[in-house]
Every structure is written in structure tokens, then in C-alpha cells.
Structure 1
Amino acid sequence: MADFLLYMSLFIIWFMLFYHMFLMQGGYLHHRRHRELKAAWEKDPGELPSFSILIPAHNEDMVIADTLKAMAALQYPKDRLEVIVVNDNSSDATGEIVEGFAARYSFIHAVHTRPPEGGKGKSGALNQGLKRASGDVIAVYDADNTPEPDAVWYLALGLNKDPDAGAVVGKFRVQNGGRNLLTRLINMETLTFQWLAQAGRWFWFRMATIPGTNFAIRREILDELGGWDEKALSEDTELSFRVYNLGWHIRFFPAAVTWEQEPETLNVWWKQRMRWARGNEYVIGKYLLGLHRLKHRKITLDLFYFLFTYLLFFTGILLSHAIFVTNLFVDLDLTIGMVSYVLLVTGFLLFLVEVLLALSLERGQLTLKNAGTAVLMYFTYSQLWLALVVHATFLEAKRMLTKQEVTWYKTQRFQTSGRETVKKEKRAKSS
């Protein structure tokens, strides 16, 4: 029995490792070709559409001013731009700060919500903002984001030049990546995700996942879909599947860059990632049960990718770990012997190559310090994800059985120092 479980777990793990290697190759090729495409599109951008930027904000007085300064600095025709900040049942000074910017800039507007319409979470706030938006294109930024001045222009360019794209997603960078070990690990995680999962899937399959920020979607699509699913903790992933099901594709266009703040403490990271994991498992359950009703079968590829990542892949790793540890104390009479150790070491080396390749695609990221951190990442951060997904699966199963309502966790923000802001600006100029 132990042999069978070990072989099964190794098959699942190596299936995903080979798939990730395939995606990473696509991400590298997309990086090489992207600059030529970007330069060609810039020569004839076409008529820019009217843009409505939605910023959901609940108790964001620590970061919202920097975000609105970035909005004011956007290089986009202001007569075709509106920024709608949804001050969603805040109890701090968020509303006053937003009103101050609205008084100074005619294209910035404040929407204040209170229960029963307000306080339902990000999806609810976005739906309230959508009701007041007038643009042909809807863009979303989180309240801790500072997009580069040309970010929205590039999102518009992507939609103009790709009429089959229902949405265009940009790239996000970690604003506080050098604050401590955790933020350095998150920085490497986000870069690997974007160049592996986003760029790789786009290159091979013309697919990408809408993130929670720095994306633009055609207004007609949101109207047809009825806005965001307010039951979804991962409203971005859920929206992606519905866009696919209408027959559109989602383009990854890394020229549009925003900078965002990431958790600086393990407790905040755990709560944020728990929401992500539970939200993605909700999406898996929702669409797996309704698989026969999906109009466009191409999205099953993404559905099974999430299924393998959040359930089967982590189950395989958990099984292999359990068998490895048990065999140290009890002889399980495994026939695979030393081959299993060779496979484990090779798997670790492949993980390391993927991370380092992703870092090499961003200027200044492939350093000796980051290489050492990548080694540490495998034995600490990645294993922490394993524990988190196990816990998230238990909580989501419990919620479904007891029919509990989901509770939105708003990520805690941290004060941004002027020193980090200067560093971020210097990095942006150098790249």
C-alpha cells in the first residue's frame, strides 16, 4: 500500500513539475517577444476608450493618499478618465482623504457606502462602483497600488489591439520587497507566478487569470455577467472563468505595471493567503459541479490546473512527505528505494531553476542573495503553503457542509516609508 501511495504521489508531483517547466518555457519566450509587439503597437495605438477606474477601499487611510497621487499622475487623457473610489463602510479617515482628492481633481469621485449595501467585501464594493461608472472600459486597482504613469494607457492599448481580448491584465511588482525575509519571499513568489503561470499560459494557450488589481475589462462584458460574484472570496479568479465562458480570452500584457504592498508579518500573510486558497477552492467547486453547463470547453484546462494545484498537487506532496518521514522510523519495505530520493532532489533543483529563471527576467532581481533565498524558499515558504492549503481545504469543506456564509478578510496595511518610495522610483526608472 505504501508503494502504491508513493508512486501515485510522485506521478502527481512530476506531472505538475513537467507542466510548470512547459509554462516557464512559454513565459521566457513571451518575455522575448513582448518587447517587439509592444513597440509595434505603440506606433499606432488607435482611439483611446473612456476608462472608469474602480478602487475599493475599506479602512485604507494608511495607503490611499499614495494611490490617489499615482492616479493623478496617470498619463491618460483626463477627459476620458474617471477614478471612482468606493469608500466601503470605513471607520477611519479614508473618506476624508478621498474627498480631499475629489475636491482637487475633477476626474476623481468618492462613493461612500454603508450597510446594507456596503461592508460586504471587495466584490460588493466593486458592484457599487460599477453602478456609478460611465466608461467603456472598467479597470480595477487595489487601494495600496501605485501604478506607473503609463499603466492604464498600456491596458487600453492591449484592448485596442486585441479585439478578442475581453480583459487585459498587467504586471504587479512588490513595493516593499526589501523590508524583511517574508517580503523577499513574496517578491520571488509573485515574479514566478507572473512569468510562469500568467505569461506561460498566455503564450501556449491564450489564457491568463484576472488578478485582483491592475486589469481592464470591457464594460459590455461586466454588464452581461451582472458584475462580480459577491459570494466569491477570490472574485478575480471567479470572474476569469465567466469571461472565458463567454468566448473571450484574457491577455497578459506586462507593459502595464503597478506596485503593491505585500504583508510584512506572517499573521497577515496567513490570513490573506487563506482567503485566496479558500476563494480558489470555492471557484473549483462551483465550476467543477457545473462542468457540463460550460459553453466553452477550453476553460476546463484552467479549471483542472487549479484543481491539480490546490488539491491533487498538494495532496501528492503531503503523501510523499508523510511516507518519507514514516519510513525514517518504520521500515515500509518500499521497492522504489534510492530512486525516490533522486526524484526528490531533482524536483528541488527544477523548482530552483524555475524561480531563478523568473528572477532573471526582471532587472536587478537575479542576485546571489535572492538565489540563496530561493533555496530557503523551498524548505520554508513552500512548505508553509502546504499547511495553509490543507487548513483552507478543511475550512472550505466545513463551510459547505454547514452552509456557513463566507467572511471577507481585509488585508492589513503597513506604513510606507519615504525611503522605500524613493527606491521603488529608482527601480522603475532603471527598468
Structure 2
Amino acid sequence: MREKEIIGNTNVEVSIVIPAYNSENTLWDTLNSLLAQNYPKDKYEIIVVDDGSTDSTYHIANQFKMRYKNNIRIRVFTKNENQGKGSAQNFGVNVSNGNYILTIDSDSIAPPNWIQTMVSSLKTCDVVSGVYYAYNPSNIIEKMQNALFISKFKYSKNPMVIAGTNFGFKKSVFYEIGGFNEKTPSTTFDFVIRAKQKGFKFCVNKDSYVYTRVHNNLISLIVQLLRWRENPLKLYFYERKIQHLVPFIFNFTMSLILPLSIIFGILHDTTMLLVGLLILLIGTSLQHLPKFCRLLVNSEYYWGAYLLIYILFEAFIMKPLYLPYWVYRILRPRHTGSFRR
């Protein structure tokens, strides 16, 4: 592990940890957005932990540091090998000076008031998650994701989100629960659950948001959404609350419909396939109906149209994939946190 220069803690209140892996094309913009914060520059530091990148991530971070070393307190570390997001985050927190820790991904952009909004929440909560929107969405894949984010976060009174790219906690919580679990694929989710089990207060601040680069092709989006669908079942095993089983049961049932309708269509009546597709569409539409209505009520017709495209994508592509994916993950479990959302 190397750090180019260690700067004394002085008046630092907030430490921003950026775990980075092969982020040479995005890291500079992330750092620029943190430089432009309206929070007092002597009150926060930026810690970049390059987790064994094979590109120029480490050198770009150092170039930024040297250019702006008189403007902001920034520390840059690199590791010899890629050990996962949880490992990079743990290292960053352990060398930090602030009592408040914020994490942001190396491909996200923070608006100027980001630190202020997160710190305000940490005055009354122990752990905080903000929300996120797509950064400059341009194609259909990016826009339908942003439509989903807007419908879930912007117009929801109490959005449920745990976002590693917009996350904060008191350092005392970190040490009380033993930091991030480096052996779980969902490091931030796991952190929140263990903090809640210890009695710490978790809050979501939808007024604290970042812009993040979303997947711009279908395959990478499918992989991301499959990973996200692991969490409801994990939440049930953590908290043993039946309501956490509902999303899993719903998606499990929907995932069975298409193969069953194909089998019945072959053995009995081909119209069963059409019935199965119709059930998938209706079930998925009902699942997203509240989000769609929120967009219409707020005159977000443009994003409403893209949400309809997302509903079709979820119904006919994602829902049939859930069951085989869960079987695959039982046979081939993941053991470390990914830098991909």
C-alpha cells in the first residue's frame, strides 16, 4: 500500500472515501465534483483507495492531487491486488481523520451541496443513504433506468434505498459493528443490516442525491438487476420479517410462469404461452403502477414513457431469468463485493 503524501488531520470533520478499480475514464470528474463542494474546504478530506487497478486510476488520482493540493486535502492510496470493494472501503475508513464518513463511487458526480445534505442527516441518524440518478442518460437503456430512479426516489415519500455510491455513517458505528464485511457481495447492504441489529438509526435522505453513470448496454444491465434481486431474501434471513419475503415470492412466482406456460403450450394448447406472457405483463405492470402514477401526477410524461419501456423489459426479459439465476448463485455463490452497481 502506498500513499504519496499524508496530511495532518487539523480540522477535518468529514472523510470522503472513494473505492476505485479501473476508473481512469471517470475518476477525474468525480474528484472535480468533490472539489466544487460548498462545504468548508478545511473541514473535509478526500481519500482515494485504488484497489489494484490495471489501468491508470492511481496515476490520475495523483495528478489531480498534485494539481489541487493547495485547494483541498486529498490522500491517494494504491493496493497491490484487487481485493474487492469492502476491503478498499475498510482501508479508507481506517486511515481517515473525520468523524463522519461518506462514500461515493468513482464514476459518480456529486452536486455542490452533497456533503452538507449528508452531514445534516448524520446529525440525527447514525447511518444514511442518499439516492441517485443517471448521469446524462442518452440512449434507451440509460433513460429507462433513470425513469425507474425518478419514479422510485424523487416522487416517493419514503423511498427504500441502500446506495453505496451515496452513503454515510458515523465512524463510531463503523468500529462498533466491525467495518464492512469483505466476504459478502453486498457490502453496503450488509453494513446497514448489522448496524440496525446493533440499534443504530438508519435513515434515507432523498434530498441528498448524486448522478451516476449507469449501464449503457442490455447485458450489463441484466447482470446488475440480477445481483440486486439477491437482497430481499438476504434481508429476510437477517431480520426474519415476513414482509421481506414478499418481493422474493412475487419474483419467484413470476419467474415460473413463462417456463410453465411453454410446457403446457407444448403438451396441451399453444395459447397457454400467450396467457403466460399476458400474466407476466399484468403482474409486472401492477408492481410498477404506483411509480408510473407518481410520474403522471407530477407531469413527468417523458419519463413515464421510458418507465413503460422498462416495464416491458422487466416482464419479458428479467422475470424469466430470476429463477435460473438464483439456482446458479446457490451453486456458485459470490464471496466479495463488486465495484459494479
Same fold (TM over 0.5): yes
One-letter code of the match for 1:356? Answer: F
TM-score when scaled to structure 1? Answer: 0.67
Q: Is residue 175 of structure 1 aligned with residue 135 of structure 2? A: yes
- Matched residue SS, 1:372: helix
- Residue type of the partner of 1:151? W
Instruction: Determine if the alignment matches structure 1 residue 307 to structure 2 residue 245.
Output: yes
The match for 2:6 is none
> Does residue 228 of structure 1 match 2:180?
yes
Alpha-carbon offset, residue 319 of structure 1: 3.4
1:175 Cα offset (Å) = 0.6
Structure 1 residues 261 and 251 mapped into 2: Cα distance closer, same or farther (>3 Å)? same
1:420-431 equivalent positions in 2, closer than 5 A: none
Q: How far has the Cα of 1:158 moved from its partner?
A: 1.3
Displacement of 1:214: 1.2
C-alpha distance 305-68 of structure 1, shift in aligned 2 (>3 A): farther
Q: CA deviation at 1:57?
A: 0.5
Q: 1:123 to 1:409 in 2, by over 3 A?
A: closer
Match of 2:92 in 1: 129
Q: Letter of the aligned partner of 2:180 in structure 1?
A: W
Report the Cα offset of residue 77 of structure 1.
1.4
Deviation at 1:64, TM superposition (A): 0.4
- Spell out the pairing of 1:321-400 with structure 2 (5 A cutoff): 321-325=258-262, 328=265, 347=283, 350-351=286-287, 353-359=289-295, 366-367=300-301, 369-399=302-332
Q: 1:348 to 1:124 in 2, by over 3 A?
A: closer
Is this contact kept in 2: 1:209–1:236, CA < 8 A? Answer: no
SS of residue matched to 2:101: strand
The structure with the largest helix share of the pair is 1
Match of 2:80 among 106, 114, 118: 114
Which residue does the alignment assign to 2:335?
406
Name the % identity: 22
Partner of 1:74: 37
Other-structure match for 2:5: none
Q: Of 192, 201, 207, which residue of structure 2 is paired with 1:255?
A: 207
Q: Classify 1:83/1:360 alpha carbon distance in 2 versus 1 (closer, same or farther; 3 Å).
A: farther
- Distance (whole Å) between structure 2 residues aligned to residue 215 and residue 237 of structure 1: 11
Q: Is the 8 A contact 2:177 2:198 kept in 1?
A: no
When residues 172 and 79 of structure 1 are mapped into structure 2, their CA distance, relative to the original with a 3 A threshold, is: same
Give the drift of 1:342.
10
Deviations 1:181-207 (A, max 9, x none): 1112211222334368x8536xxxxxx
1:47-76: CA deviations, max 9, x gaps?
x98111100011101000000000100111
Indicate whether 1:266 and 2:229 are aligned.
no
Deviation readout 1:87-135 (Å, 9 max, x if unpaired): 11112111111112222234111011113xxx11111110111111111
Q: Distance in 2 between matches of 1:264 and 1:175?
A: 11
TM-score, scaled relative to structure 2: 0.83
2:184 matches 1:187 = no
RMSD over aligned CA atoms reads 3.1
Q: Is the alpha carbon distance of 1:307 and 1:195 closer, same or farther for their aligned partners in structure 2, counting shifts above 3 Å?
A: farther
SS at match of 2:169: strand
Question: Could you tell me which amino acid in structure 1 is paired with residue 31 of structure 2?
Answer: L
Opposite residue 228 of structure 2, the aligned amino acid is W
Displacement of 1:83: 0.7
Gap runs ≥5 in structure 1: 1-47, 202-207, 292-298, 333-339, 413-431
Count residues in correspondence: 323
**1:226–1:344 distance in 2 versus 1, CA, 3 Å:** closer
- Paired with 1:227 and 1:167, the residues of 2 have a C-alpha distance of 13
Compute the displacement of 1:347 (Å): 4.5
1:274-285 pair list within 5 angstroms: 274-278=226-230, 280=231, 283-284=234-235
Change (3 A) 1:210 1:373: closer
Letter in 1 for 2:329: E
The whole-number CA distance in structure 2 between the counterparts of 1:77 and 1:255 is 20
Q: In 2, are the aligned partners of 1:232 and 1:238 still within 8 Å (CA)?
A: yes
CA contact 1:50–1:80 (8 Å) conserved in 2: yes
Query: Does the CA contact (< 8 Å) of 1:127 and 1:228 recur in 2?
Result: yes
Between the aligned partners of 2:51 and 2:278, the Cα distance in structure 1 is 53
CA contact (8 A) 2:251 2:319 kept: yes
In the alignment, the residues of structure 2 paired with residue 410 and residue 216 of structure 1 have an alpha-carbon distance, to the nearest angstrom, of 17
C-alpha distance in structure 2 between counterparts of 1:341 and 1:234, whole Å? 32
1:259 positional shift: 0.5
